[in-house]
Structure 1
Amino acid sequence: MTFFRKIVIVGLACLLSQAVWAVKIDTVETYSASMKKSIKAVVITPDTYDGSREFPVVYLLHGYGDSYNGWVKKAPFMREAADLYQAIIVCPDGGFSSWYWDSPLDPTMRYETYVSNELVSWVDGKYKTIKSRAGRGITGLSMGGHGALYLALKHQDVFGVAGSMSGGVDIRPFPNNWDMAKRLGKYAEAPENWEKNTVINMLHLLTPNSLALIIDCGSEDFFYRVNNNLHEKLAERNIPHDYISRPGGHNWPYWNSAVSYQLLFMKQYFDKQKSK
Protein backbone atom coordinates (compact mmCIF):
# COMPACT_ATOMS: atom_id res chain seq x y z
CA MET A 1 0.00 0.00 0.00
CA THR A 2 1.48 3.35 -1.02
CA PHE A 3 1.89 6.22 1.43
CA PHE A 4 -0.69 8.29 -0.47
CA ARG A 5 -3.26 5.48 -0.27
CA LYS A 6 -2.71 5.22 3.48
CA ILE A 7 -3.28 8.96 3.77
CA VAL A 8 -6.48 8.63 1.73
CA ILE A 9 -7.83 5.83 3.92
CA VAL A 10 -7.01 7.67 7.15
CA GLY A 11 -8.46 10.91 5.77
CA LEU A 12 -11.65 9.21 4.65
CA ALA A 13 -12.08 7.55 8.01
CA CYS A 14 -11.76 10.87 9.83
CA LEU A 15 -14.18 12.61 7.49
CA LEU A 16 -16.69 9.78 7.57
CA SER A 17 -16.84 9.93 11.33
CA GLN A 18 -18.05 13.55 11.11
CA ALA A 19 -20.21 13.55 7.99
CA VAL A 20 -23.97 13.48 7.64
CA TRP A 21 -25.22 12.84 4.11
CA ALA A 22 -27.74 15.58 3.39
CA VAL A 23 -26.52 16.99 0.11
CA LYS A 24 -28.76 18.76 -2.37
CA ILE A 25 -28.64 17.55 -5.97
CA ASP A 26 -30.07 19.90 -8.60
CA THR A 27 -30.35 19.59 -12.35
CA VAL A 28 -29.87 23.05 -13.83
CA GLU A 29 -29.99 24.55 -17.32
CA THR A 30 -27.22 26.87 -18.42
CA TYR A 31 -26.90 28.77 -21.67
CA SER A 32 -23.94 28.67 -24.01
CA ALA A 33 -23.75 31.82 -26.10
CA SER A 34 -20.91 30.33 -28.13
CA MET A 35 -23.04 27.33 -29.16
CA LYS A 36 -26.40 29.11 -28.94
CA LYS A 37 -28.09 26.40 -26.91
CA SER A 38 -29.10 25.42 -23.39
CA ILE A 39 -26.99 22.78 -21.68
CA LYS A 40 -27.86 20.79 -18.56
CA ALA A 41 -25.63 20.18 -15.56
CA VAL A 42 -25.93 18.52 -12.17
CA VAL A 43 -24.93 20.70 -9.21
CA ILE A 44 -24.34 19.02 -5.86
CA THR A 45 -24.15 21.27 -2.79
CA PRO A 46 -23.22 20.10 0.71
CA ASP A 47 -25.64 20.19 3.62
CA THR A 48 -23.67 23.06 5.13
CA TYR A 49 -24.26 25.25 2.07
CA ASP A 50 -26.59 28.05 3.15
CA GLY A 51 -25.20 31.04 1.25
CA SER A 52 -23.34 32.40 4.25
CA ARG A 53 -19.83 31.42 3.15
CA GLU A 54 -17.97 30.68 -0.04
CA PHE A 55 -17.28 27.12 -1.16
CA PRO A 56 -14.71 25.71 -3.57
CA VAL A 57 -16.04 24.11 -6.75
CA VAL A 58 -14.96 20.89 -8.46
CA TYR A 59 -16.00 20.46 -12.09
CA LEU A 60 -16.41 16.74 -12.77
CA LEU A 61 -16.46 15.73 -16.45
CA HIS A 62 -18.07 12.63 -17.95
CA GLY A 63 -16.68 10.28 -20.56
CA TYR A 64 -17.45 9.54 -24.20
CA GLY A 65 -21.06 8.59 -24.86
CA ASP A 66 -22.25 9.69 -21.42
CA SER A 67 -23.99 12.85 -20.20
CA TYR A 68 -24.28 15.31 -17.33
CA ASN A 69 -26.02 12.82 -15.00
CA GLY A 70 -23.63 9.93 -15.57
CA TRP A 71 -21.64 10.48 -12.40
CA VAL A 72 -24.70 10.69 -10.17
CA LYS A 73 -26.34 7.63 -11.73
CA LYS A 74 -23.29 5.37 -11.86
CA ALA A 75 -21.22 6.47 -8.87
CA PRO A 76 -23.25 6.23 -5.64
CA PHE A 77 -20.37 7.88 -3.77
CA MET A 78 -21.21 11.22 -5.42
CA ARG A 79 -24.24 11.53 -3.15
CA GLU A 80 -21.85 11.70 -0.22
CA ALA A 81 -18.91 13.52 -1.75
CA ALA A 82 -20.05 17.15 -1.46
CA ASP A 83 -20.58 16.78 2.29
CA LEU A 84 -17.45 14.72 2.75
CA TYR A 85 -15.15 17.17 0.99
CA GLN A 86 -17.10 20.38 1.67
CA ALA A 87 -17.19 21.46 -1.95
CA ILE A 88 -19.77 22.20 -4.62
CA ILE A 89 -19.54 19.57 -7.36
CA VAL A 90 -20.66 20.48 -10.87
CA CYS A 91 -21.18 17.78 -13.51
CA PRO A 92 -21.71 19.48 -16.89
CA ASP A 93 -22.89 17.95 -20.12
CA GLY A 94 -19.93 17.72 -22.47
CA GLY A 95 -21.82 16.33 -25.44
CA PHE A 96 -21.72 12.74 -26.65
CA SER A 97 -18.24 13.12 -28.15
CA SER A 98 -16.96 16.68 -27.81
CA TRP A 99 -13.68 15.79 -26.10
CA TYR A 100 -14.10 19.26 -24.54
CA TRP A 101 -12.43 20.99 -27.47
CA ASP A 102 -13.50 24.02 -29.43
CA SER A 103 -13.63 22.04 -32.65
CA PRO A 104 -11.84 23.72 -35.57
CA LEU A 105 -14.31 21.95 -37.89
CA ASP A 106 -17.65 22.11 -36.13
CA PRO A 107 -18.85 25.46 -34.72
CA THR A 108 -21.56 23.67 -32.72
CA MET A 109 -18.85 22.01 -30.63
CA ARG A 110 -17.28 24.72 -28.46
CA TYR A 111 -17.05 22.91 -25.17
CA GLU A 112 -13.71 24.43 -24.17
CA THR A 113 -15.34 27.85 -24.18
CA TYR A 114 -18.46 26.52 -22.50
CA VAL A 115 -16.82 24.75 -19.54
CA SER A 116 -13.87 27.07 -18.88
CA ASN A 117 -15.75 30.35 -19.39
CA GLU A 118 -19.53 30.25 -19.74
CA LEU A 119 -20.26 27.54 -17.18
CA VAL A 120 -17.77 28.84 -14.61
CA SER A 121 -19.27 32.33 -14.90
CA TRP A 122 -22.79 30.94 -14.52
CA VAL A 123 -21.90 28.89 -11.43
CA ASP A 124 -20.09 31.82 -9.81
CA GLY A 125 -23.13 34.00 -10.49
CA LYS A 126 -25.66 31.55 -9.01
CA TYR A 127 -23.78 30.09 -6.05
CA LYS A 128 -21.63 31.33 -3.20
CA THR A 129 -18.26 30.20 -4.55
CA ILE A 130 -14.59 31.02 -4.18
CA LYS A 131 -14.27 33.03 -7.38
CA SER A 132 -10.64 32.35 -8.16
CA ARG A 133 -8.37 29.52 -9.24
CA ALA A 134 -7.62 28.93 -5.54
CA GLY A 135 -11.14 27.54 -5.22
CA ARG A 136 -11.60 25.74 -8.53
CA GLY A 137 -10.67 22.22 -9.52
CA ILE A 138 -11.48 20.07 -12.52
CA THR A 139 -11.26 16.33 -13.14
CA GLY A 140 -13.00 13.63 -15.13
CA LEU A 141 -12.88 10.12 -16.52
CA SER A 142 -11.71 8.91 -19.93
CA MET A 143 -12.74 11.63 -22.43
CA GLY A 144 -13.38 13.77 -19.36
CA GLY A 145 -9.92 13.03 -17.98
CA HIS A 146 -8.44 14.35 -21.20
CA GLY A 147 -10.84 17.28 -21.04
CA ALA A 148 -9.99 18.19 -17.46
CA LEU A 149 -6.24 18.31 -18.08
CA TYR A 150 -6.67 19.99 -21.46
CA LEU A 151 -8.83 22.76 -20.03
CA ALA A 152 -6.71 23.24 -16.91
CA LEU A 153 -3.45 23.46 -18.84
CA LYS A 154 -4.93 26.04 -21.22
CA HIS A 155 -6.75 27.99 -18.51
CA GLN A 156 -4.48 28.10 -15.49
CA ASP A 157 -6.01 31.44 -14.59
CA VAL A 158 -9.33 29.61 -14.05
CA PHE A 159 -8.33 26.29 -12.44
CA GLY A 160 -5.73 25.79 -9.74
CA VAL A 161 -5.94 22.01 -9.42
CA ALA A 162 -6.69 19.34 -12.02
CA GLY A 163 -6.96 15.59 -12.24
CA SER A 164 -7.64 12.74 -14.61
CA MET A 165 -9.01 9.22 -14.19
CA SER A 166 -8.25 6.80 -17.03
CA GLY A 167 -7.82 9.83 -19.27
CA GLY A 168 -7.13 9.81 -22.99
CA VAL A 169 -4.08 11.97 -22.37
CA ASP A 170 -2.52 11.16 -25.74
CA ILE A 171 -5.07 10.86 -28.53
CA ARG A 172 -2.65 10.11 -31.37
CA PRO A 173 -2.53 6.31 -30.92
CA PHE A 174 -6.32 6.21 -31.47
CA PRO A 175 -6.98 8.02 -34.78
CA ASN A 176 -10.09 5.99 -35.64
CA ASN A 177 -11.75 5.99 -32.25
CA TRP A 178 -14.49 7.85 -30.38
CA ASP A 179 -15.45 10.37 -33.08
CA MET A 180 -12.28 12.39 -32.59
CA ALA A 181 -11.78 12.70 -36.36
CA LYS A 182 -15.18 14.43 -36.55
CA ARG A 183 -13.87 17.12 -34.21
CA LEU A 184 -10.30 17.52 -35.49
CA GLY A 185 -10.31 16.07 -39.00
CA LYS A 186 -8.66 12.81 -39.98
CA TYR A 187 -5.20 12.43 -38.51
CA ALA A 188 -3.68 11.75 -41.93
CA GLU A 189 -5.23 14.95 -43.33
CA ALA A 190 -4.93 17.35 -40.37
CA PRO A 191 -2.09 16.06 -38.17
CA GLU A 192 -1.46 19.54 -36.76
CA ASN A 193 -4.89 19.52 -35.09
CA TRP A 194 -4.08 16.27 -33.34
CA GLU A 195 -0.57 17.30 -32.33
CA LYS A 196 -1.57 20.57 -30.69
CA ASN A 197 -4.75 19.27 -29.04
CA THR A 198 -3.33 16.26 -27.23
CA VAL A 199 -2.51 16.76 -23.55
CA ILE A 200 0.90 15.12 -23.64
CA ASN A 201 2.10 17.76 -26.14
CA MET A 202 0.91 20.67 -23.97
CA LEU A 203 3.35 20.31 -21.08
CA HIS A 204 5.27 23.38 -22.24
CA LEU A 205 2.39 25.36 -20.77
CA LEU A 206 3.36 24.21 -17.27
CA THR A 207 6.03 25.43 -14.90
CA PRO A 208 6.79 23.66 -11.62
CA ASN A 209 3.88 24.12 -9.19
CA SER A 210 1.86 26.29 -11.56
CA LEU A 211 -0.94 23.70 -11.42
CA ALA A 212 -1.60 20.99 -8.82
CA LEU A 213 -2.01 17.67 -10.66
CA ILE A 214 -3.24 14.18 -9.86
CA ILE A 215 -3.34 11.43 -12.52
CA ASP A 216 -4.82 7.96 -12.02
CA CYS A 217 -5.08 5.01 -14.41
CA GLY A 218 -5.55 1.28 -13.92
CA SER A 219 -2.79 -1.04 -15.02
CA GLU A 220 -5.19 -3.04 -17.23
CA ASP A 221 -6.66 0.06 -18.89
CA PHE A 222 -6.13 0.59 -22.64
CA PHE A 223 -5.04 4.15 -21.72
CA TYR A 224 -2.46 2.91 -19.22
CA ARG A 225 0.52 3.29 -21.54
CA VAL A 226 -0.25 6.89 -22.50
CA ASN A 227 -0.85 7.81 -18.86
CA ASN A 228 2.46 6.27 -17.85
CA ASN A 229 4.15 8.21 -20.66
CA LEU A 230 2.57 11.41 -19.38
CA HIS A 231 3.81 10.68 -15.86
CA GLU A 232 7.35 10.15 -17.15
CA LYS A 233 7.33 13.35 -19.21
CA LEU A 234 6.08 15.36 -16.24
CA ALA A 235 8.87 13.88 -14.13
CA GLU A 236 11.44 14.75 -16.81
CA ARG A 237 10.29 18.37 -16.66
CA ASN A 238 10.34 18.40 -12.84
CA ILE A 239 6.59 19.11 -12.73
CA PRO A 240 5.28 17.95 -9.34
CA HIS A 241 2.25 15.67 -9.62
CA ASP A 242 0.64 12.69 -7.94
CA TYR A 243 0.49 9.58 -10.10
CA ILE A 244 -1.58 6.57 -9.05
CA SER A 245 -1.81 3.24 -10.81
CA ARG A 246 -3.68 0.30 -9.33
CA PRO A 247 -4.94 -2.99 -10.75
CA GLY A 248 -8.07 -2.24 -12.71
CA GLY A 249 -9.55 -1.48 -16.10
CA HIS A 250 -11.58 1.15 -17.90
CA ASN A 251 -14.78 0.76 -15.93
CA TRP A 252 -17.04 2.15 -13.22
CA PRO A 253 -15.73 -0.03 -10.38
CA TYR A 254 -12.34 1.63 -10.93
CA TRP A 255 -13.76 5.17 -11.21
CA ASN A 256 -15.96 4.76 -8.14
CA SER A 257 -12.75 4.25 -6.19
CA ALA A 258 -10.60 6.73 -8.11
CA VAL A 259 -12.89 9.72 -7.61
CA SER A 260 -12.35 9.66 -3.85
CA TYR A 261 -8.60 10.04 -4.37
CA GLN A 262 -9.19 12.94 -6.75
CA LEU A 263 -11.55 14.81 -4.44
CA LEU A 264 -9.36 14.35 -1.38
CA PHE A 265 -6.37 15.69 -3.32
CA MET A 266 -8.44 18.71 -4.32
CA LYS A 267 -9.68 19.31 -0.78
CA GLN A 268 -6.09 19.31 0.43
CA TYR A 269 -5.25 21.88 -2.27
CA PHE A 270 -8.21 24.10 -1.31
CA ASP A 271 -7.35 23.90 2.39
CA LYS A 272 -3.76 24.85 1.64
CA GLN A 273 -4.88 27.88 -0.36
CA LYS A 274 -7.09 29.06 2.52
CA SER A 275 -4.16 28.90 4.94
CA LYS A 276 -1.96 31.13 2.80
Structure 2
Amino acid sequence: MKVERSLFIILVFLFWAPAFGQIPQAKFEDFKLQSELMGRMMPYRVVYPVDYFKSNEKRYSVIYLLHGLSGNYKNWTEKTKLLQYATKHDFLLVMVEGENGWYVDSAKEPRSFYESYIIKELIPEIDKKFRTLNDRKHRIIAGLSMGGYGAIKFGLKYPEKFGLVGSFSGALGIVTADTDKMYGWIAETVKRAFGDSESPVRKSNDIFAILRGLSSDQLSQLPFIYLDCGTEDFLFRENQEFMTLLVEKKVKHEYRHLPGAHTWTYWDSQIFDFLRLAEKLLKEQEKMK
Protein backbone atom coordinates (compact mmCIF):
# COMPACT_ATOMS: atom_id res chain seq x y z
CA MET A 1 0.00 0.00 0.00
CA LYS A 2 2.81 2.42 0.88
CA VAL A 3 4.52 1.75 -2.44
CA GLU A 4 1.26 2.33 -4.37
CA ARG A 5 0.54 5.53 -2.45
CA SER A 6 4.06 6.84 -3.02
CA LEU A 7 3.80 6.06 -6.73
CA PHE A 8 0.46 7.88 -6.90
CA ILE A 9 1.95 11.00 -5.25
CA ILE A 10 4.91 10.98 -7.63
CA LEU A 11 2.64 10.69 -10.66
CA VAL A 12 0.44 13.57 -9.44
CA PHE A 13 3.53 15.73 -8.88
CA LEU A 14 4.89 14.96 -12.34
CA PHE A 15 1.53 15.84 -13.89
CA TRP A 16 1.32 19.22 -12.17
CA ALA A 17 5.02 20.11 -12.05
CA PRO A 18 5.13 22.06 -15.34
CA ALA A 19 2.40 24.38 -14.08
CA PHE A 20 4.35 25.25 -10.92
CA GLY A 21 7.10 26.92 -12.93
CA GLN A 22 4.83 28.83 -15.30
CA ILE A 23 4.47 32.60 -14.96
CA PRO A 24 0.90 33.82 -15.44
CA GLN A 25 0.37 35.77 -18.64
CA ALA A 26 -2.55 37.83 -19.88
CA LYS A 27 -4.47 36.71 -22.95
CA PHE A 28 -4.30 38.74 -26.14
CA GLU A 29 -6.09 38.78 -29.46
CA ASP A 30 -5.41 40.42 -32.83
CA PHE A 31 -8.02 42.35 -34.79
CA LYS A 32 -8.27 44.32 -38.04
CA LEU A 33 -10.20 47.50 -38.60
CA GLN A 34 -11.28 48.54 -42.08
CA SER A 35 -10.12 52.14 -42.12
CA GLU A 36 -11.76 54.56 -44.51
CA LEU A 37 -9.09 57.14 -43.77
CA MET A 38 -6.20 54.78 -44.46
CA GLY A 39 -7.94 52.93 -47.27
CA ARG A 40 -6.94 49.52 -45.93
CA MET A 41 -7.25 47.08 -43.05
CA MET A 42 -5.36 48.29 -39.98
CA PRO A 43 -4.30 45.64 -37.44
CA TYR A 44 -4.23 46.11 -33.69
CA ARG A 45 -3.67 43.86 -30.71
CA VAL A 46 -5.69 43.79 -27.49
CA VAL A 47 -4.42 42.43 -24.18
CA TYR A 48 -7.31 41.56 -21.89
CA PRO A 49 -7.51 42.07 -18.13
CA VAL A 50 -7.33 38.69 -16.39
CA ASP A 51 -10.99 38.77 -15.35
CA TYR A 52 -12.40 40.25 -18.57
CA PHE A 53 -14.35 37.11 -19.53
CA LYS A 54 -15.66 36.45 -16.02
CA SER A 55 -18.25 39.20 -16.22
CA ASN A 56 -20.39 40.88 -18.85
CA GLU A 57 -20.79 44.02 -16.76
CA LYS A 58 -17.40 45.22 -15.58
CA ARG A 59 -15.76 47.97 -17.60
CA TYR A 60 -12.08 48.85 -17.84
CA SER A 61 -9.68 51.74 -18.29
CA VAL A 62 -7.80 51.60 -21.61
CA ILE A 63 -4.11 52.13 -22.33
CA TYR A 64 -3.11 52.65 -25.97
CA LEU A 65 0.52 51.71 -26.63
CA LEU A 66 2.44 53.12 -29.60
CA HIS A 67 5.53 51.46 -31.07
CA GLY A 68 8.72 53.05 -32.38
CA LEU A 69 10.15 53.64 -35.84
CA SER A 70 10.61 50.42 -37.87
CA GLY A 71 8.44 48.61 -35.31
CA ASN A 72 4.89 47.31 -35.37
CA TYR A 73 1.86 46.70 -33.17
CA LYS A 74 3.21 43.34 -31.96
CA ASN A 75 6.41 44.75 -30.45
CA TRP A 76 5.15 45.47 -26.96
CA THR A 77 4.05 41.88 -26.34
CA GLU A 78 6.98 40.27 -28.17
CA LYS A 79 9.89 42.32 -26.84
CA THR A 80 8.85 43.04 -23.23
CA LYS A 81 7.21 41.10 -20.39
CA LEU A 82 4.01 43.11 -20.86
CA LEU A 83 1.78 40.00 -20.84
CA GLN A 84 3.20 39.12 -17.45
CA TYR A 85 2.93 42.65 -16.05
CA ALA A 86 -0.64 43.02 -17.33
CA THR A 87 -1.89 40.29 -14.99
CA LYS A 88 -1.25 42.61 -12.03
CA HIS A 89 -3.37 45.48 -13.36
CA ASP A 90 -6.95 46.14 -14.43
CA PHE A 91 -6.35 47.64 -17.87
CA LEU A 92 -7.46 46.81 -21.38
CA LEU A 93 -4.29 47.33 -23.42
CA VAL A 94 -4.46 48.26 -27.11
CA MET A 95 -1.36 48.02 -29.28
CA VAL A 96 -1.65 50.37 -32.24
CA GLU A 97 -0.15 49.97 -35.72
CA GLY A 98 1.63 53.17 -36.71
CA GLU A 99 4.07 51.82 -39.34
CA ASN A 100 6.70 54.55 -39.97
CA GLY A 101 4.20 57.38 -40.10
CA TRP A 102 5.16 59.31 -36.94
CA TYR A 103 1.49 59.26 -35.88
CA VAL A 104 0.65 62.31 -38.00
CA ASP A 105 -1.54 62.99 -41.01
CA SER A 106 1.18 62.92 -43.65
CA ALA A 107 2.18 66.01 -45.57
CA LYS A 108 3.02 63.97 -48.67
CA GLU A 109 1.70 60.41 -48.53
CA PRO A 110 -1.87 59.73 -49.67
CA ARG A 111 -3.91 57.50 -47.36
CA SER A 112 -1.44 58.09 -44.55
CA PHE A 113 -3.59 59.73 -41.90
CA TYR A 114 -2.35 58.07 -38.72
CA GLU A 115 -3.44 60.82 -36.34
CA SER A 116 -6.99 60.98 -37.66
CA TYR A 117 -7.19 57.20 -37.86
CA ILE A 118 -6.40 56.81 -34.15
CA ILE A 119 -8.62 59.63 -32.95
CA LYS A 120 -11.58 59.24 -35.31
CA GLU A 121 -11.66 55.51 -36.05
CA LEU A 122 -9.64 53.37 -33.65
CA ILE A 123 -10.72 54.90 -30.34
CA PRO A 124 -14.45 54.77 -31.24
CA GLU A 125 -13.92 51.19 -32.45
CA ILE A 126 -12.37 50.14 -29.14
CA ASP A 127 -15.10 51.81 -27.08
CA LYS A 128 -17.79 50.14 -29.18
CA LYS A 129 -16.26 46.66 -29.38
CA PHE A 130 -14.98 46.27 -25.82
CA ARG A 131 -16.25 47.04 -22.32
CA THR A 132 -14.33 50.25 -21.74
CA LEU A 133 -14.69 53.19 -19.42
CA ASN A 134 -14.86 55.62 -22.29
CA ASP A 135 -14.31 58.94 -20.54
CA ARG A 136 -11.12 61.02 -20.61
CA LYS A 137 -10.01 60.04 -17.11
CA HIS A 138 -9.89 56.34 -17.97
CA ARG A 139 -8.20 56.67 -21.36
CA ILE A 140 -4.38 56.65 -21.45
CA ILE A 141 -1.85 56.73 -24.27
CA ALA A 142 1.88 56.01 -24.13
CA GLY A 143 4.70 55.00 -26.42
CA LEU A 144 8.42 54.60 -27.00
CA SER A 145 10.71 56.66 -29.23
CA MET A 146 8.52 57.62 -32.23
CA GLY A 147 5.56 56.45 -30.16
CA GLY A 148 6.64 58.61 -27.22
CA TYR A 149 6.53 61.64 -29.48
CA GLY A 150 3.11 60.51 -30.75
CA ALA A 151 1.68 60.03 -27.26
CA ILE A 152 2.79 63.46 -26.05
CA LYS A 153 1.44 65.07 -29.22
CA PHE A 154 -1.96 63.40 -28.79
CA GLY A 155 -2.11 64.60 -25.19
CA LEU A 156 -1.36 68.20 -26.19
CA LYS A 157 -3.71 68.29 -29.19
CA TYR A 158 -6.58 66.26 -27.72
CA PRO A 159 -6.59 66.89 -23.96
CA GLU A 160 -10.31 66.09 -23.86
CA LYS A 161 -9.51 62.52 -24.93
CA PHE A 162 -6.78 61.48 -22.47
CA GLY A 163 -6.22 61.71 -18.74
CA LEU A 164 -2.63 60.47 -18.78
CA VAL A 165 0.06 60.33 -21.47
CA GLY A 166 3.47 58.69 -21.26
CA SER A 167 6.69 58.89 -23.26
CA PHE A 168 9.61 56.49 -22.94
CA SER A 169 12.74 57.77 -24.71
CA GLY A 170 10.54 59.92 -26.88
CA ALA A 171 11.82 61.46 -30.13
CA LEU A 172 10.33 64.73 -28.94
CA GLY A 173 12.36 67.07 -31.11
CA ILE A 174 11.88 65.19 -34.37
CA VAL A 175 10.01 68.00 -36.13
CA THR A 176 12.93 70.45 -35.91
CA ALA A 177 15.73 67.86 -36.13
CA ASP A 178 18.27 68.20 -38.94
CA THR A 179 17.45 65.45 -41.45
CA ASP A 180 20.92 65.80 -43.00
CA LYS A 181 22.35 64.28 -39.83
CA MET A 182 20.02 61.26 -39.87
CA TYR A 183 20.40 57.90 -41.56
CA GLY A 184 18.92 58.16 -45.05
CA TRP A 185 15.89 55.92 -44.47
CA ILE A 186 15.02 57.70 -41.21
CA ALA A 187 15.26 61.10 -42.90
CA GLU A 188 12.89 59.87 -45.61
CA THR A 189 10.25 58.87 -43.07
CA VAL A 190 10.49 62.32 -41.48
CA LYS A 191 10.18 64.13 -44.81
CA ARG A 192 7.21 62.00 -45.90
CA ALA A 193 5.42 62.55 -42.60
CA PHE A 194 6.11 66.23 -41.93
CA GLY A 195 7.00 67.72 -45.33
CA ASP A 196 9.60 70.42 -45.93
CA SER A 197 10.72 73.01 -43.38
CA GLU A 198 7.84 75.39 -44.21
CA SER A 199 5.13 72.72 -44.28
CA PRO A 200 2.04 73.50 -42.18
CA VAL A 201 2.06 69.85 -41.12
CA ARG A 202 5.51 70.32 -39.62
CA LYS A 203 4.47 73.44 -37.75
CA SER A 204 1.22 71.96 -36.43
CA ASN A 205 2.98 68.87 -35.06
CA ASP A 206 5.93 70.51 -33.27
CA ILE A 207 5.14 69.63 -29.65
CA PHE A 208 7.47 72.33 -28.29
CA ALA A 209 5.64 74.97 -30.35
CA ILE A 210 2.23 73.55 -29.42
CA LEU A 211 3.04 73.69 -25.70
CA ARG A 212 4.45 77.23 -25.92
CA GLY A 213 1.33 78.40 -27.72
CA LEU A 214 -1.21 77.22 -25.14
CA SER A 215 -2.98 79.71 -22.89
CA SER A 216 -2.99 79.37 -19.10
CA ASP A 217 -6.50 77.92 -19.24
CA GLN A 218 -5.49 75.40 -21.94
CA LEU A 219 -2.41 74.39 -19.96
CA SER A 220 -4.57 73.66 -16.93
CA GLN A 221 -6.68 71.25 -19.01
CA LEU A 222 -3.77 69.10 -20.17
CA PRO A 223 -3.52 65.47 -19.09
CA PHE A 224 -0.88 64.39 -16.60
CA ILE A 225 2.35 63.82 -18.52
CA TYR A 226 4.88 61.10 -17.70
CA LEU A 227 8.30 61.44 -19.29
CA ASP A 228 11.45 59.35 -18.98
CA CYS A 229 14.68 58.78 -20.85
CA GLY A 230 17.89 56.83 -20.27
CA THR A 231 20.96 58.93 -19.53
CA GLU A 232 22.90 57.09 -22.26
CA ASP A 233 20.15 57.61 -24.84
CA PHE A 234 20.91 59.82 -27.86
CA LEU A 235 17.53 61.50 -27.24
CA PHE A 236 18.35 62.41 -23.65
CA ARG A 237 18.96 66.12 -24.26
CA GLU A 238 15.67 66.82 -26.04
CA ASN A 239 13.78 65.01 -23.29
CA GLN A 240 15.44 67.24 -20.70
CA GLU A 241 14.57 70.29 -22.78
CA PHE A 242 10.92 69.27 -22.96
CA MET A 243 10.86 68.62 -19.21
CA THR A 244 12.25 72.13 -18.64
CA LEU A 245 9.42 73.55 -20.74
CA LEU A 246 6.84 71.56 -18.75
CA VAL A 247 8.24 73.05 -15.55
CA GLU A 248 8.20 76.56 -17.05
CA LYS A 249 4.57 76.14 -18.12
CA LYS A 250 3.61 74.57 -14.78
CA VAL A 251 2.17 71.44 -16.42
CA LYS A 252 1.42 68.50 -14.13
CA HIS A 253 4.05 65.88 -14.90
CA GLU A 254 6.57 63.36 -13.66
CA TYR A 255 10.03 63.17 -15.20
CA ARG A 256 12.64 60.47 -14.67
CA HIS A 257 16.12 60.12 -16.07
CA LEU A 258 17.61 56.73 -15.35
CA PRO A 259 20.68 54.75 -16.43
CA GLY A 260 19.91 53.18 -19.79
CA ALA A 261 20.04 53.51 -23.56
CA HIS A 262 17.61 53.27 -26.48
CA THR A 263 16.92 49.58 -25.90
CA TRP A 264 14.12 47.15 -25.16
CA THR A 265 15.73 46.31 -21.84
CA TYR A 266 15.16 49.90 -20.78
CA TRP A 267 11.60 50.07 -22.17
CA ASP A 268 10.68 46.81 -20.47
CA SER A 269 11.51 48.33 -17.09
CA GLN A 270 9.63 51.52 -17.92
CA ILE A 271 6.39 49.91 -19.04
CA PHE A 272 6.46 47.97 -15.75
CA ASP A 273 6.74 51.26 -13.83
CA PHE A 274 4.23 53.07 -16.03
CA LEU A 275 1.47 50.52 -15.41
CA ARG A 276 1.95 50.97 -11.67
CA LEU A 277 1.90 54.76 -12.03
CA ALA A 278 -1.28 54.66 -14.11
CA GLU A 279 -3.02 52.50 -11.52
CA LYS A 280 -1.85 54.76 -8.71
CA LEU A 281 -3.08 57.95 -10.41
CA LEU A 282 -6.48 56.42 -11.18
CA LYS A 283 -6.91 55.37 -7.55
CA GLU A 284 -6.00 58.87 -6.38
CA GLN A 285 -8.58 60.36 -8.74
CA GLU A 286 -11.24 58.01 -7.42
CA LYS A 287 -10.52 59.15 -3.85
CA MET A 288 -10.97 62.79 -4.89
CA LYS A 289 -14.56 62.23 -6.03
8 Å CA contact 1:175–1:186 kept in 2: the answer is no
Deviation (angstroms), 1:99: 0.3
AA at the equivalent of 2:283: D
2:246 to 227, 234, 237: 234
1:83 to 87, 107, 128: 87
Instruction: Look up the match of 2:155.
Output: 152
Q: Secondary structure at the match of 1:270?
A: helix
1:185 to 195, 203, 220: 195
Alignment of 1:247 with 2:259, yes or no, is yes
Cα 1:248/1:274, change in 2 over 3 Å: same
8 Å CA contact 2:156–2:222 kept in 1: the answer is no
Q: Secondary structure at the match of 1:207?
A: helix
Q: Secondary structure at the match of 1:215?
A: strand
Cα RMSD, aligned residues only: 1.6
AA at the equivalent of 1:56: S
Instruction: Look up the match of 1:196.
Output: 204
Instruction: Look up the match of 1:134.
Output: 137
AA at the equivalent of 2:204: K
Deviation (angstroms), 1:22: 4.6
8 Å CA contact 1:212–1:241 kept in 2: the answer is yes
> Matches of 2:161 and 2:252 in 1, distance apart?
19
AA at the equivalent of 1:90: V
Deviation (angstroms), 1:105: 2.1
Instruction: Look up the match of 1:225.
Output: 237
AA at the equivalent of 1:92: V
AA at the equivalent of 2:121: E
Tell me which protein shows more helix as a share of its residues.
Answer: 2
AA at the equivalent of 1:200: F
8 Å CA contact 2:25–2:86 kept in 1: the answer is no
AA at the equivalent of 2:193: R
Alignment of 1:112 with 2:115, yes or no, is yes
Larger Rg: 2
8 Å CA contact 2:106–2:201 kept in 1: the answer is no
> Matches of 2:285 and 2:24 in 1, distance apart?
26
Instruction: Look up the match of 1:143.
Output: 146
- Most deviating of 236-245 and 102-111: 102-111
Structure 1 residues not aligned, in runs of 5+: 1-19
8 Å CA contact 1:209–1:239 kept in 2: the answer is no
1:24 to 21, 27, 42: 27
> Matches of 2:113 and 2:201 in 1, distance apart?
15
CA offset digits 1:89-138 (Å, max 9, x no partner): 1001111x100001132231111011122111111111100011111000
Structure 2 residues not aligned, in runs of 5+: 1-22
Number of residue pairs matched? 253
Q: Secondary structure at the match of 2:274?
A: helix
Aligned-pair identity (%): 30
TM-score of the superposed pair, with normalisation by structure 2: 0.83
Deviation (angstroms), 1:192: 4.7
> Matches of 1:49 and 1:191 in 2, distance apart?
45
Q: Secondary structure at the match of 1:40?
A: strand
8 Å CA contact 2:168–2:227 kept in 1: the answer is yes
> Matches of 1:157 and 1:94 in 2, distance apart?
22
